[in-house]
Structure 1
Amino acid sequence: MPMDFVAQVYAYLQPGGIVMFPLVISSVCMWVLIIDRVLYYRQLGRDDIPLRQAVGMLAAKAAPAGATGLRAGVVTAFLAERTGDRDLDKKILDRCAMRARPSIRRALALIATLAAVAPLFGLLGTVTGMITTFDVIALFGTGNPKAMAGGISEALITTQSGLTAAIPGLFMSTYLMRRAGRLEGRLDETVAVLKRHL
């Protein structure tokens, strides 16, 4: 069954020509990154501690056991570097939050770029397919529809594939950007509350 599926996919993509290779590679890379971000955001939310518990950990000077979420990571890093000086500890807390921030936005720009590139590859395939069609018309005229069908098929398959990759990719990119924004808001809220309890 899997070999039949691979053969069907190859039979579908093969008329698209050389443009299908970068289109498929960019689509696969985009979905690998999307799945990675979805799982990472789920872990940050599921394994996190409530804000009240983060404040309690700060007061007890004990790192949360087994928690790997966003707040837990910031509290753990802060407690490892805490000095006891209130002003210095606030700066250390800011630095701990700053170190957590890049991992939230990691790969989001690349996902958006790959989603935007997919229809451009489709457009490139459309142009190359039409060039092939016009070359056939120049050689044989319009009396050979079978020869023209290859170029038209290349143009349509690459366009369809580019749009099929781009539409869900753009949707997921927007979803992940919103999710990252919510996590950054949670991070800012955590830092503000912890600073009041130092």
Structure 2
Amino acid sequence: MSFGDFVGDLMFYYRSGGFVMPPLVIATVLMWYGLGYRIAVIKRGSDDPVRLLVDRVRDKGADSLPRRGIVPNAVLLGLEAQGRRLPNLRDHLDVAFGRYRQMMKGFSIMTQSIIAIAPLLGLLGTVVGMVETFDSLQDMQLFSQSGGIAGGISQALITTQFGLAIAIPGLVVQGFLTRRAQRIEVDLAQLTDLLCAEDAEHKTQELRA
């Protein structure tokens, strides 16, 4: 099959879906744009535990950590804040790490909405296609300018197929990214507790001295 034949088949598939296809195509583009952003942003950066990353920075310096990834950057940011001996370290870390949490939530609502709406748009096209089919049966029109029975059945099947083809991969990728984000959230919480516990211990030792 040549590229021209492929494009022709694709355009026929697009036209056969009726008025529901343009919103579905736009939804596909928006969903994968949002998922692509989340894939690029939600990266842990290292498989090592948080405590090990902290000890590595103290022993070997900041260059020992990967340059990309939320957790290594959070470790460096947290150690820098701890070194300044702030009186409210936990509040400072919550604000600082909040930027990472906000990044991980980017386009999440949009992608979840599209995943939920795409099958419904496909179902709408199915209903419209079946209505056209029954109208053609009532008028005894096997073929008409709008497609008749064949056009109605084609629209009913294509829109359902396309809606599910959008939702199912999106649901799988979204679930994977959600689990990854939850793991990073746990890491950020562990890092905050670790640094705050060490800071409190240092302050206690200073008071005793």
Query: TM-score range with shorter-chain normalisation?
Result: 0.7 to 0.9
CA contact (8 A) 1:48 1:70 kept: no
- Residues 2 and 194 of structure 1, relative CA distance in 2, 3 Å threshold: farther
Greater gyration radius: 2
Instruction: Name the stretch that deviates more: 29-38 or 83-92.
Output: 83-92
C-alpha displacement at 1:123, in angstroms?
A: 0.7
Q: Secondary structure at the match of 1:45?
A: coil
Residue in structure 2 matched with residue 33 of structure 1 by the alignment: 34
Return the alpha-carbon distance in structure 2 between the equivalents of residues 34 and 46 of structure 1: 21
Return the alpha-carbon distance in structure 2 between the equivalents of residues 150 and 84 of structure 1: 71
Return the alpha-carbon distance in structure 1 between the equivalents of residues 38 and 122 of structure 2: 26
CA contact (8 A) 1:63 1:75 kept: no
CA contact (8 A) 1:120 1:162 kept: yes
Q: Is 2:182 the counterpart of 1:185? A: no
Residue in structure 1 matched with residue 53 of structure 2 by the alignment: 53
Deviations for 1:115-157, whole angstroms, at most 9, x for unmatched residues?
111101101101111222233234x32xx33331111111111
C-alpha displacement at 1:196, in angstroms?
A: 2.2
Return the alpha-carbon distance in structure 1 between the equivalents of residues 51 and 83 of structure 2: 22
Q: Is 2:155 the counterpart of 1:158? A: no
Return the alpha-carbon distance in structure 2 between the equivalents of residues 67 and 149 of structure 1: 57
C-alpha displacement at 1:76, in angstroms?
A: 4.1
| 1:50-129 equivalent positions in 2, closer than 5 A | 51-55=51-55, 57=57, 67-78=67-78, 84-129=84-129
Return the alpha-carbon distance in structure 1 between the equivalents of residues 135 and 102 of structure 2: 50
Deviations for 1:6-30, whole angstroms, at most 9, x for unmatched residues?
2221122211111011011101221
C-alpha displacement at 1:79, in angstroms?
A: 5.8
Residue in structure 1 matched with residue 135 of structure 2 by the alignment: 135
C-alpha displacement at 1:51, in angstroms?
A: 3.6
Return the alpha-carbon distance in structure 2 between the equivalents of residues 66 and 168 of structure 1: 30
Residue in structure 2 matched with residue 145 of structure 1 by the alignment: 142
Q: Is 2:191 the counterpart of 1:194? A: no
CA contact (8 A) 1:48 1:69 kept: no
Instruction: Give RMSD over aligned pairs.
Output: 2.7
Deviations for 1:85-112, whole angstroms, at most 9, x for unmatched residues?
4532332122212222111222222212
C-alpha displacement at 1:187, in angstroms?
A: 1.1
- Residues 14 and 128 of structure 1, relative CA distance in 2, 3 Å threshold: same
Total equivalences in the alignment: 192
List runs of 5+ in structure 2 lacking aligned partners. 200-209
CA contact (8 A) 1:55 1:197 kept: no
Q: Which runs of 4+ in 1 moved over 3 A?
A: 1-4, 46-51, 62-66, 75-86
Q: Secondary structure at the match of 2:123?
A: helix
Return the alpha-carbon distance in structure 2 between the equivalents of residues 3 and 54 of structure 1: 57
Return the alpha-carbon distance in structure 2 between the equivalents of residues 107 and 171 of structure 1: 16
List runs of 5+ in structure 1 lacking aligned partners. none
Q: Secondary structure at the match of 1:174?
A: helix
Return the alpha-carbon distance in structure 2 between the equivalents of residues 41 and 184 of structure 1: 11
CA contact (8 A) 1:129 1:151 kept: yes
Q: Secondary structure at the match of 1:5?
A: helix
